[in-house]
């Protein structure tokens, strides 16, 4: 896949074949890739907590919030939940400001996951206190983002947003997940 195909396929997937588990090696390889990412002032303050056992994924799931725009959907049901998570932590002993580093590494890991036939979703809406407690994360670390991963079981379709307000993603009767993207003409600023 070239970069265009990879980016197009790299959607936010929230439903998975939960039984298709990911092993620690796969997650570790994703983290290894983040060593190639840019980092503000090259501080590299991010650390990673890997979760792929059922015991751990069951603990993490209740602390994540899914697809805020789809009001009548409580999130993935049992059997379609992520098979693994990478919790991206900021090490406050290195810096208190993690800048945009978490987004850069999360997208890099998701692109690599897609290349392997996997997929996932960045989750920023997190019950951080609850997650810290169930995983026993020391105060030294800030919970920045969680990357949910698995073998996607849903189809996501991109479409051009029709108006500047048309940004809510939605599901149709065939259960396809539609994501509006602003057209290029709206992105370019002419001064
Ligand atoms: C920083 C960030 C945080 C996000 N947090 C959540 C979240 O908490 N829950 C969720 O279901 N999706 C979350 N998403 C996914 C977005 O909803 C998704 O990117 C958007 O709907 C566009 O879909 P696409 O990623 O397929 O282009 C997040 C995305 C980003 C970049």
* pLDDT confidence of residue 158: 97
Candidates 13, 22, 20, 50; CA nearest to 34 is 50
* pLDDT confidence of residue 93: 98
Distance 177 CA to ligand 1 centre (A): 13
Each of the 191 residues of the chain gets a pLDDT tens digit; together they read 999 999 999 999 999 999 999 999 999 999 999 999 999 999 999 999 999 999 999 999 999 999 999 999 999 999 999 999 999 999 999 999 999 999 999 999 999 999 999 999 999 999 999 999 999 999 999 999 999 999 999 999 999 999 999 999 999 999 999 999 999 999 999 99
* Closest residue to atom 29 of ligand 1, CA basis: 122
Candidates 35, 44, 36, 33; CA nearest to 98 is 44
User: Pocket of ligand 1, candidates 124, 149, 150, 161: which has the most ligand atoms within 8 Å of its Cβ, to mutate?
Assistant: 124
The two structure tokens encoding residue 98? 């993690």
170 strand-pairing partners: 178
Q: For residues 89 and 48, is the Cβ–Cβ distance under 8 A?
A: yes
* pLDDT confidence of residue 134: 98
* Closest residue to atom 1 of ligand 1, CA basis: 124
Spatial distance between the Cα atoms of 75 and 99, rounded to a whole number of angstroms: 29
Spatial distance between the Cα atoms of 57 and 28, rounded to a whole number of angstroms: 16
Which domains, ranges and CATH numbers included, belong to the chain? 3-154 (3.40.109.10), 155-191 (2.20.180.10)
Spatial distance between the Cα atoms of 177 and 175, rounded to a whole number of angstroms: 6
* pLDDT confidence of residue 98: 98
Core vs surface per residue 12-22: b (16+ CB within 10 A) or e = bbbbbebeeeb
Q: For residues 147 and 109, is the Cβ–Cβ distance under 8 A?
A: yes
| Portion of the chain with pLDDT greater than 90, in percent | 99
Candidates 167, 121, 126; CA nearest to 144 is 126
* Closest residue to atom 27 of ligand 1, CA basis: 11
Spatial distance between the Cα atoms of 139 and 66, rounded to a whole number of angstroms: 25
Ligand 1 pocket at CB < 6 A: 11-12, 14, 65-67, 103, 121-125, 156, 169, 179
Prediction pTM value: 0.98
């Amino acid at each position: 896949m070239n970069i265009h195909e990879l980016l197009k396929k790299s959607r936010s997937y929230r439903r998975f074949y939960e039984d298709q588990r990911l092993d620690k090696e796969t997650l570790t390889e994703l983290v290894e890739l983040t060593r190639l990412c840019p980092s503000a002032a090259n501080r590299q303050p991010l650390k990673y907590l890997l979760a792929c056992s059922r015991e751990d994924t069951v603990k993490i799931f209740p602390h994540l919030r899914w697809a805020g725009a789809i009001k009548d959907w409580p999130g993935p049901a049992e059997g379609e939940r992520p098979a693994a998570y990478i919790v991206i932590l900021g090490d406050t002993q290195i810096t208190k400001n993690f800048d945009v580093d978490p987004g850069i590494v999360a997208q890099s890991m998701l692109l690599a996951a897609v290349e392997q036939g996997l997929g996932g979703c960045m989750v920023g809406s997190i019950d951080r206190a609850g997650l810290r407690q169930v995983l026993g994360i020391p105060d030294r670390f800030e919970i920045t983002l969680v990357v949910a991963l698995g073998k996607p079981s849903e189809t996501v379709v991109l479409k051009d947003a029709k108006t500047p307000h048309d940004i809510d993603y939605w599901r149709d009767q065939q259960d396809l997940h539609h994501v509006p993207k602003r057209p290029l003409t709206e992105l370019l600023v002419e001064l």
